[in-house]
Structure formats: structure tokens, C-alpha cells
Amino acid sequence: MNPHAPGIAVVTGAAGGMGTAIARKLHTDGRRVLLADLDTAAVDALAAELSPDGSTARGIKLDVGRKAAFEEGLAVCEDLWGTPTIVVNNAAVTRAADLMTLGEDEFTDVLTTNVNSVFFGCQVFGAAMADRGFGRIVNMASLAGQNGGTATGGHYAASKGAILTATKIFARELAARGVTVNAISPGPHDLPVVRKTVPADKLDGIVAGIPVGRLGSASFVADTVALLVSDDAFFVTGACWDINGGLYLR
């Protein structure tokens, strides 16, 4: 019998979009899921939908810009179910901005949210997993971190590039202790955040520029996460899996 099944998953940014799709998939696969977000009403509602009695899904407020918040989140998870076996660092802010007039405060805000969320998520949860000898971490990067961005700002692209490097750093650090750390880099997907960030009059042009001719599916990204967090994924670490419709080819 698999000693790690069904597993305990923490998903940040679970209140909507990609995070919700990932959380639903992991829960459907039999994982207990801690839904972390600043939007407590949304994650509490999702948790109630997934698990009316709260036995397999719970919402929690977590400010991913603060290391202490991850430590608090870990304590909550351990009190509920135990040390997590899966962490999906999905939370991020997506913004467009003019590169040459981008202000310091806005730059710092995006970098703090997007990079801290992955770095301290890997550090805090990764250490706890390593102490148990098993763990799967998936960091949500972006095509913008590989090609410099298309419809998003330079601060967003820079933050996602940092996530790719952080993934390699923690993968190397934790591999010998049973914890894998990987990244997924999605291109434009059919999500509210994409339609909010990209003006309607420009979205058709972006879609036309995607070699496969359409936006991506969040459900496929969720399936990819599920594959990377499986026990048999022990031989994949420090990797970045591209899901971009052919916009970036290695």
C-alpha cells in the first residue's frame, strides 16, 4: 500500500482561476486539500463545496508575501491533517505596465508577492517535507519568465524568471531528502485573469499569434500538476514543463 496516499496538498492562490482548477483536480484524486488565499470567502466557499463536513478540504487565509504566513499555514495544516506531502505555489499577481515608466512601489509589490510566494513556500514547506522524507512541490512560473513577456509587464516577467531559478535552487537542495521541486510555465490560458489583463481589442491578435490558434486549458495544467505530484514522479526534479501552445520552443 502506498504510504503517502491519499496525501495532503496545500494550494496557494486557490480562490479562483488556475488555483481553483488545480485544487479541484487534487481533491478529485483523493487528496486532502488546504486552500490558501487572501480571499477567505472564496476559499471557504470552495472548501464547503468540495467537502461539506470539512474533512477533506479547508480554506485558510495566507499572505504569500510573508514567510511568517507560511509558517502559520504549516502549523494549521499539521493541526488539521499532518505535514503536507504536496505544495502547489500558484499564488501571484498578474499586471501589465509600461516598462520605462514602471514605478518602484509597483515593481516591489509584484516581486514581493510573486517571488516570496515561491521562495518561502519552498523553504518552509520544503523543510517540513524533507524532515519526513517525502514531498512534491510544483511552482507556477510563466511563459513571460522565458520570453520576457508579451501582454504583461516587465515586473511580472522578471518575477516569473526568478521563480524558474528558485525552482532549480530548491530542487538541488531537497532532492536527496525525498522532495522534488518542479515548475510549470503556462502561456496564455482561457482564464479570467488573462481577459482582465489583456484588452479585449488585443486578445484576438494574441490568440492569432499562438501557433495552435487557441488559448490553453486550465484543466490540462491541473492534470499536469497531478502527474508531477504523483509518487512515481520521483525522477523529475528541477524541471520546467512548458504549456504554451508553441509560443516558446526550446
- Across the chain, where does the E strand assignment appear? 8-12, 32-37, 57-61, 86-89, 135-140, 179-186, 240-243
Among residues 70, 81, 119, 156, which one is catalytic? 156
- Across 4-126, where does the E strand assignment appear? 8-12, 32-37, 57-61, 86-89
Alpha carbon distance 57, 43 (integer Å): 10
43: its cell numbers: 476559499
Compute CA 102 distance to the chain's CA centroid, rounded to the nearest angstrom.
25
Confirm whether 248 is a catalytic residue. no
Alpha carbon separation from 207 to 67, 180, 185, 204, 247 (Å, rounded):
37, 34, 17, 5, 10
Q: Which of 128, 220, 242, 139 is nearest to 181 (CA)?
A: 139
Residue 240 DSSP class: E
Residue numbers annotated as active site: 156
